Amino acid sequence: MIEALGLTKHYGRVQAVQDASFTAYPGRVTGFLGLNGSGKTTTLRMLLGLSRATAGEARINGRRFRDLPHPAREVGAVLEQGISHPGQSGRAHLTSQAILAGVRRSRVEELLDDVGLAHAAGQRSGAYSLGMRQRLAVATALLGDPPTLVLDEPANGLDPEGVAWLRRLLRDHCGRGGTVLVSSHLLAELAQFIDDVVIIVKGRVTCEAPLASLYGASAGRLRIRSRDQRRLWQALQGAGGRVTRSGDALQVTGLTPESAGEIAFQARVPLYELTVETPDLEQIFLDLTAA
C-alpha cells in the first residue's frame, strides 16, 4: 500500500506539489495521471524518499521510506531511464544491483527472461533501444520481489508488444496481491489496465476514484440502427432500456448488447448496427484536468 498524506513540495517560489493526499491499494493498479509539469515525478520522488517533502508525509506499507528495513524488498521503482552505466551489460547491471540489494544472483537470469532481455543480456546497455532500457529498469525494480511498485511513465518508448507485456506484468503483480502506482500523461495509455485513477492538476490532486466511475453516463451505452427504429425503441423501452435518439441511431443504456439483440429478434426488427460505445478517454481526462 502507498499513502500520500498532504505531500507538499516547493522549489523556491515554484509550488510543484500542494497538499497531495491519495492511497494506492494492494491488489489494484492505480494510475497517477497529470499533464506535463503537473507534479507527478516530484510526488513519486517524495514517496520514494528521493526528495524531502516541504510538508506532509508518504508511507509505503505503513512506514516512511527511510524506516523500511529492506527497501528493495518492499518497493521497486522505475523513475528514469539511463539507470545503468552505458558501458555495462544488462546482466552486469542487474548483478551489481542484486549484490547491493542483498538479492540472490540466480534472480538475475530469471528476471532477464521475465522481461524479455535474455537475448541481449550480454550487450552494452548503452546500445539498448529505449524500450529495452525500460525493460531493464523494470527488471531492476523487480529484483527484490517487492510487493509495491512505483513506475513513472513506464510505457514511454515501448512498442505495442512492449505495452502489452507491461500490462500483463503489472496485472499479474496485482493478481498476487501487489500494489502498483503507475504515472502517465495519457489516460488512454493506462486505461486498459488500471483499476483506480488519481489525477493531479498543477500540483493538486483533484480526483481519486475507480476508473469505471469516470466513464459516467457513457459506460456501456449501446448504439443501434435498425430497419424500424420506432418499433425497436418501444421494444427496448418495454424491456427496461433507456432510449434516446442520436442522429439516425438509437442510444440505449440499461441493457446488454446480448439482450438488445434478443429483443430486436423477438420484435422481428432487422438490425443494421449494434455497437457498444467506448468512452473517449482523452476527452474525459482533458475535462477532468481542465475542471
Q: Which residues are near ligand ATP by CB under 6 A?
A: 11, 14, 16, 34, 36-42, 185
Q: Which one, 14 or 212, has the nearer CB to ligand ATP?
A: 14
Supply the minimum distance, in Å, between the C-beta of residue 249 and ligand ATP: 38
Supply the minimum distance, in Å, between the C-beta of residue 14 and ligand ATP: 5
Supply the minimum distance, in Å, between the C-beta of residue 273 and ligand ATP: 39
Supply the minimum distance, in Å, between the C-beta of residue 173 and ligand ATP: 23
Q: Which one, 124 or 204, has the nearer CB to ligand ATP?
A: 204
Which residues, 6+ apart, have CB-to-CB distance to 37 below 8 Å? none
Supply the minimum distance, in Å, between the C-beta of residue 194 and ligand ATP: 17
Supply the minimum distance, in Å, between the C-beta of residue 35 and ligand ATP: 7
Q: Which one, 37 or 240, has the nearer CB to ligand ATP?
A: 37
Q: Which one, 16 or 174, has the nearer CB to ligand ATP?
A: 16
Q: Which one, 34 or 241, has the nearer CB to ligand ATP?
A: 34
Q: Which one, 11 or 272, has the nearer CB to ligand ATP?
A: 11
What is the DSSP track for the chain?
-EEEEEEEEEETTEEEEEEEEEEE-TT-EEEEE--TTSSHHHHHHHHTTSS--SEEEEEETTB-GGG-SSHHHHEEEE--S--S-TTSBHHHHHHHHHHHHT--THHHHHHHHHTT-GGGTTSBGGGS-HHHHHHHHHHHHHTT--SEEEEESTTTT--HHHHHHHHHHHHHHHHTT-EEEEEES-HHHHTTT-SEEEEEETTEEEEEEEHHHHHGGGTT-EEEEES-HHHHHHHHHHTT-EEEEETTEEEEESS-HHHHHHHHHHTT--EEEEEEPPP-HHHHHHHHHH-
